[in-house]
Chains A and B, each alone.
Chain A
Amino acid sequence: EDKVVQSPLSLVVHEGDTVTLNCSYEVTNFRSLLWYKQEKKAPTFLFMLTSSGIEKKSGRLSSILDKKELFSILNITATQTGDSAVYLCAALRWGSNYKLTFGKGTLLTVNP
C-alpha cells in the first residue's frame, strides 16, 4: 500500500524564521512528488518534483527531491504570517493505477 509520511505534524514559528518540512514516501511506480498549500479552501499547487537533486524555487519557497532516500523537503525562508497553512505532500503513482496519495500534512503557524 502506498504511504506518505510528513513531519512534523505541526510547527509554530515567529515571522522571519526559516522552516523545513519533511516528506517521505513509499510508492509503487513512483513518478513525482507534489507539494500543496491548503488554507481554508482547496489545496493550492506549489511544486511538482520528478527529478532527484534539482531544486525548485518560487519566491521564498523551495523544494528538492531525493529519489534514492525517498524523501523531499520544502523550505520556507523569512516566514510571514501569510504562510500559515497546512502544507500537504503527495506522491504520484504512474501507470495503469495512476494515483496521488497524500500525507497527513504539516500545520504551520507563523506568529508575528
Chain B
Amino acid sequence: SAVISQKPSRDICQRGTSLTIQCQVDSQVTMMFWYRQQPGQSLTLIATANQGSEATYESGFVIDKFPISRPNLTFSTLTVSNMSPEDSSIYLCSGQSGNTIYFGEGSWLTVV
C-alpha cells in the first residue's frame, strides 16, 4: 500500500491569491492524479500528473488555473491560481500503487 501526505491540510485564502498544495507519497507510484471535491459533490478529476512532463488536464480544467508539477515518482504539487470563492473545495491527491488507487487526506481550501 501507499501512504499519501498532503500539505496544507486546510487553509483560508484571500480572493485573487494563489496557493500550492504539496503531495508526498511514501513509495514510488506509477500514476498520480489530482481531484477536486466541491461541497456536497463527488470527486472530479482535474488532471493526471506526469513525471517530468506537462500534466494531462480534463475538460474544464486548464494549466493556467491549475499548474501541476511532478518532478519525481513520489512528489507532486498543484497550484490553484487567482482564487475565487468558487475554488473553495477539497483538493485530493491520489496515486496508483499495484492494483489500487490511494488518496491523500485532502486539502480543504476556503476562499474569502
Binding site for B on A (CB under 8 A): 32, 34, 36, 41-45, 48, 50, 88, 90, 92, 98-105
Contact = CB atoms under 8 A, between A and B. Distances in A.
Interface string B79-103: 0000000000010101000011111
Interface residues of B, number: 20
A42 B42 contact: no
A92 B96 CA distance: 11
Contacts of B101: 34, 45, 92, 100
Given A42-B105, A43-B43, A104-B41, A98 B48 contact: yes
Contacts of B41: 104
Contact of A104 (B42, B99, B100): B42
A44 B99 CA distance: 15
Contact of A101 (B45, B102, B104): B45
Contacts of B90: 42
Contact of B105 (A41, A88, A104): A41
Interface string B23-44: 0000000010100000001111
Interface of B: 31, 33, 41-45, 48, 58, 90, 92, 94, 99-106
Given A42-B104, A98-B31, A48 B99 contact: yes
A42 B103 contact: yes
Contacts of A102: 42-44
A45 B100 contact: yes
A97 to B, nearest CB: 8
B42 A88 contact: yes
A90 B96 CA distance: 14
Given A45-B102, A48-B99, 10 more contacts: A32-B99, A41-B106, A43-B92, A88-B43, A90-B43, A98-B31, A99-B48, A101-B45, A102-B44, A105-B42
B106 A42 contact: yes
Contacts of B31: 98
A103 B33 CA distance: 17
